[in-house]
Amino acid sequence: MQKKLQNNRASLALKIYQGGKSKQYKLKDLFLYLKPSNLDEKNHNSETKKLAESILAKRQLEFQNNSYNIHTGFKTQGSFLEYFSKLVRERRASAGNYGNWQSVYKHLLTYANGHDVKFSDCDDDFLKGFKKFLQNGNITKSNTKLSNNAALSYFNKVKAALNQAYVDRIILDNPGRRVKGIPQQETHREYLLIEELKLLADTPCEIPLLKQAFLFSCITGLRWSDINKLTWKEVVYSEAEAQWKIHFMQKKTKSLQYHPISNEAYTILGDRQNESERVFKGLKYSAWNNHKLAEWIWRDAAIKRKITFHCARHTYATLLLTSGGDIYTVSSLMGHQNLKTTQIYAKIINPKKNETVDLIPRIYQ
């Protein structure tokens, strides 16, 4: 369909029939010259008609694949921003994950600059532009650039949203499969040596419960989120294996873990309480607790490095590898879904490398 405009131009629209009724869809920014007066205008008309036919073919394919929504028209004309916001709300049960998705949504709004983003707008160029925005824009609260791995995480969430839209049959083509992600950058992972752990075990902490939880994390590898919600009924003794285990659902990965722990780790927990009670009852995440943890390590134990609670998990991995644990078993104990994540620790600690370099003959007698 054509609609006459000013300046010898006509706009274009698709007229689609469904269920005996017709509906019209404007083709934004597309127009024809009513009376082309030169070769450029004739070529413009020719290319525009080809584009309009291509759009029509795509719309017909959407009909055939049930991608038509009676309320909003073609699903690809729906709002990607609204869809992403819905995915964010679905993650409210997981505070950390929800916060990350919420941050991505805010960055999408900033990138859109007040405009809505339809699914049909989410093409290769849109994704490449957003990737560049995450990598190069001063978009943090302190008006600085995101870290490489933060940009990687945020970009992957947009690709995950498009993957879900493809599964939901909203889009028939997924640009996320073509646009390359952001390469992961290895980061320095701080950890404690066994001598330092022994020193901390002998050093009083102003908040004993915090010390107890930190040392437990160091020799079990459990994340803060899993330690904080751990209940006594999840701490189980296997008679067949003569082994204490923790049966729990990882909060981050949502995977069920049957995690063996040492007798010493169980001893750290103290006297057993009611099955439904939290093991570390009263433990709370706060800036004050983080400050007290740092004081205990830096000032009281004189370990002059920046150690956070998450470093306990790094400590667990390096202790296992130092003691001769194979990387596949360590990966399983860490609950990693990708062996590459565990291999980062293997680069830090590799007993075989240490043994090999000691084979070099002495050059001074």
The answer, as to whether pTM is greater than 0.85, is no
Q: Are residues 204 and 333 in the same domain?
A: yes
Predicted pLDDT of residue 338: 74
Q: Are residues 212 and 324 in the same domain?
A: yes
- Sorted by sequence, the CB contacts under 8 Å of residue 152 that are 6+ apart come out as 181, 182, 183, 184, 185
Q: What is the pLDDT of residues 241-281, one digit of tens each?
A: 999 999 888 777 677 788 899 999 999 999 999 999 999 99
Tokens 């600059």: give the residue: 113
Residue 59 maps to a domain: yes
Pair of tokens at residue 364: 């001074």
Residue 39 belongs to domain spanning: 2-64
The rounded distance, in Å, linking the Cα atoms of 84 and 31 is 32
Of 317, 362, 311, 312, the closest CA to residue 342 belongs to: 317
CB of 328 within 8 A of CB of 236? no
CB of 120 within 8 A of CB of 96? no
Query: What are the angstrom distances between the C-alpha of 62 and each of 25, 27, 49, 58, 67?
Result: 14, 16, 20, 6, 5
Residue 274 maps to a domain: yes
Q: What is the pLDDT of residues 96-114, one digit of tens each?
A: 688 889 999 999 999 999 9
Q: Are residues 251 and 280 in the same domain?
A: yes
Is residue 122 within a helix (H) or strand (E), and if so which, with residue range? none
Predicted pLDDT of residue 113: 92
Q: Are residues 6 and 30 in the same domain?
A: yes
pLDDT at 172 over 90: no
Q: Are residues 106 and 226 in the same domain?
A: no
Judged by DSSP in three states, 177 sits in: helix
Q: What is the pLDDT of residues 58-78, one digit of tens each?
A: 666 655 555 554 434 457 778
